[in-house]
Amino acid sequence: MDFFEHQDKARRNTGLLILYFGLAVLCIFGALFCLASYFLSRDPYTTKIVWDLGLAVQIALGTGLLVGLGSLYKIATLNGGGKVVAESLGGNPIYPGTDDPKEKRLLNIVEEMAIASGTPVPSVYLMEEKSINAFAAGHSPENAVIGVTRGCIDKLNRDQLQGVMAHEFSHILNGDMRMNIRLIGVLHGILLIAGLGYFLMRIAPYLGGGRRNRDSGGLGIALLVTGIGMLAIGYVGAFFGGLIKAAVSRQREFLADASAVQFTRNPQGISGALKKIGGLSEGSRIEAPKANECSHMFFGTSVASLFATHPKIEKRIRRIDPNWKGSFPGSNNQAEHPGTTEFVGAAGFLGDTGKATKSKSKAETETTRPQNAIRSAGNPTQAHVKHARKVITKTSSALLDQVREPFGARCVIFALLLDGVDKVVRDKQFALLLRQTERGSAEETEKASSRLSDLSCEQKFALVEMAAPALTLLSPGQYAAFRNTVEHLVAADNRLDLFEWSLRKVIDHDLGRRFSKRHSQHGSTSIRRLLPDCILVLGTLARHGQNGMAPEPSFNAGISAISRSKTLSLPSVEKCGVAQLNEAVTRLERLTPLEKRSLLEACSRTIDFDGKATEVEVQILRGVAAGISCPLPLVVAGSID
């Protein structure tokens, strides 16, 4: 099952969650109706309205409003995505330019995996907990964050930490995060009944009667009994909440474990992490006050519960390592210290390793073909990680240092947009930087520009993805100013070329959605309804990517993947401009996940037709994938054979 199938299944699971939610609310309504009817039947003035349809309607409306508004309120507070969840659990962001070796190792692993899987590099939060645990949270890959405990980076070696991170990336790619955040909101509404009952119990003594007012005393007793009843009913809601969490979470954990093994090709990594949890006195327990409501998000069981959100750790280990003897290592006094070799050649932490190997393994070559890159979306392998590591290693350490802090990251993006041919336009762009940006930006941009000259297309896009965590630290005002400068740099030559368009799409995908209001990641429209837009995308690829060869054969190869019609013709050159492409891709975001896969496969057929992928084709494919919110592992320009 790939990214697109997982996303489609996640959409269906949302319907299942709504069904569970409805059943829970129905049971709560029934319990409240019985409670109200019982107490009202004891008063001669209210016996006429008990077990009555009118009373049932009133209680149903009250229950629906209370639970519904409670859920909507909680979901609204989580609109900020994974950042809000991480901060509520006591997490603090790890600065991308940190000097701590263990934090560097963690960021290095996350960076490699994000680039390998084609997702924006998520921000990483550290929780000061002694246990070994981690989580991924967010509405979509664009605003995802990863949280880890102090015990996780202290107790695990690189392979084990990589296994845990691969597990969390599986949740990011499989659409589990959105479901998990919605689950927090839904359960908050259900448990609000218990909260209201507790509130009534607290205020009842203050309304208790004295000699002066026996009526208020009766009211106090009534409130106390009602509060106890609502508290009991609230725990019925908690019972259903546990059932819902268990139903949604447990099988997803098995799937994420299996995906982590596929990602790393190292079963001992994730199984070793699970074994260390079993041998640690703190295990995977989380002490943060909000741990219970987020328990279904964690890598390991974070709180004790009647309905476990995770399978037993022994069962998870045996699924990965059938030969396990059943013993856990003593992890309390074990601490892993990153060696210098863990950073060499991984992400430039110790500088460049010198000569990067020029040859690529057959596995790496296969993974970077357009068709294979699309087929592996959401299912990256160790070959993707290895290639991502090589791309990072071949990039100068000075550039890597720049993209890991906000000021330098902005300057690298500006440098990517500088005109490399027309000196007049370039001078105009530098004048604009001097006017619109803070002191030193123009000089830093010029330094970055000199370092970018020899970089390949894939390295440039990788730099944009690596810049995401640093640029996330910008305030909304700073990001708006940065985005405004990007637009002015693009418009300096009064035209928009394909690289500028694709780069802007990637920036909007990786960063824009972190600063904008949450939006739907996928739509419900079929290719048939948006076929003219699909034709335009394939026509643009065929017209601009064939290096002088006739575009019709490659266009026909692509169009055959989405339509059997023999009457579809290649659009004219005039209709295949950047502006028309941008409008088409904007509309194509409304496609369903599976239809998006069909579109990208059609694009890959057009690219692969002549046996090579040109720089222009890679740029268009990258821009289209970003525009329709689909992860795309690195695609290399050059011969496909």
The verdict on residue 617 lying in a domain is yes
The DSSP annotation for 342-405 comes to GTTTTSSBTB--SPPP----HHHHHHTSHHHHHHTTT---HHHHHHHHHHHHTS-HHHHHHHTS
Average pLDDT over all residues of the chain: 81
Q: What is the pLDDT of residue 383?
A: 82
What confidence tens digit (pLDDT) does each residue in 344-383 have? 334 333 333 334 344 455 555 555 566 666 666 656 778 8
- What is the share, in percent, of the chain residues with pLDDT greater than 90? 34
What confidence tens digit (pLDDT) does each residue in 46-78 have? 556 566 777 788 888 888 888 888 888 888 888
Instruction: Say if residues 178 and 140 touch (Cβ distance below 8 Å).
Output: yes
Q: Which amino acid is at 588?
A: L
> Does the pLDDT of residue 513 top 60, yes or no?
yes
- Kindly tell me the burial class for residue 230, based on how many C-beta atoms sit within 10 Å of its own C-beta (0-12, 13-18, 19 or more): buried
What are the CA-CA distances from residue 78 to residues 73, 144, 183, 565 (Å)? 9, 12, 11, 46
Are residues 94 and 68 located together in one domain of the fold?
no
What confidence tens digit (pLDDT) does each residue in 383-407 have? 888 888 888 888 989 999 999 999 9
Task: Assign 293 a pLDDT band (cuts: 50, 70, 90).
Answer: confident
> Does the pLDDT of residue 501 top 60, yes or no?
yes
How far is it, in rounded angstroms, from Cα 483 to Cα 427? 20
As annotated, the active-site residues are: 168
Are residues 174 and 185 located together in one domain of the fold?
no
The verdict on residue 467 lying in a domain is yes
Instruction: Kindly report the number of other CB atoms within 10 A of residue 422's CB atom.
Output: 12
How far is it, in rounded angstroms, from Cα 243 to Cα 240? 5
Q: What is the pLDDT of residue 86?
A: 94
Instruction: Kindly report the number of other CB atoms within 10 A of residue 201's CB atom.
Output: 17
Instruction: Say if residues 501 and 623 touch (Cβ distance below 8 Å).
Output: yes
The verdict on residue 436 lying in a domain is yes
Are residues 61 and 111 located together in one domain of the fold?
no
Task: Assign 25 a pLDDT band (cuts: 50, 70, 90).
Answer: confident
Q: What is the pLDDT of residue 550?
A: 87
Q: What is the pLDDT of residue 149?
A: 97
The verdict on residue 246 lying in a domain is no
> Does the pLDDT of residue 29 top 90, yes or no?
no
Task: Assign 635 a pLDDT band (cuts: 50, 70, 90).
Answer: low
Are residues 448 and 409 located together in one domain of the fold?
yes
Q: What is the pLDDT of residue 110?
A: 94
Q: pTM for this one?
A: 0.80
Indicate if the alpha-carbon torsion angle 277, 278, 281, 286 is positive or negative: positive
The verdict on residue 343 lying in a domain is no
The verdict on residue 336 lying in a domain is no
Are residues 154 and 290 located together in one domain of the fold?
yes
What is the rounded radius of gyration, in angstroms, for the C-alpha atoms of the chain?
A: 28
How far is it, in rounded angstroms, from Cα 282 to Cα 398? 41
Task: Assign 427 a pLDDT band (cuts: 50, 70, 90).
Answer: very high
For the segment 449-473, the average pLDDT, to the nearest whole number, is: 89
Q: Which amino acid is at 514?
A: R
Q: What is the pLDDT of residue 123?
A: 92
What confidence tens digit (pLDDT) does each residue in 607-627 have? 888 888 888 888 899 899 989
Most confident of 146-160, 166-180, 205-219: 146-160
> Does the pLDDT of residue 547 top 90, yes or no?
no
What are the CA-CA distances from residue 358 to residues 355, 387, 390, 394, 462 (Å)? 9, 12, 10, 10, 19
Residue-range definition of the domain harbouring residue 227: 3-79+180-237
For the segment 437-442, the average pLDDT, to the nearest whole number, is: 92
Are residues 500 and 625 located together in one domain of the fold?
no
Q: What is the pLDDT of residue 343?
A: 46
Closest CA to 640 of 358, 361, 360, 366: 366
Q: Lay out the sheet containing 134-137: strands in order across.
A: 92-93, 123-127, 145-149, 134-137
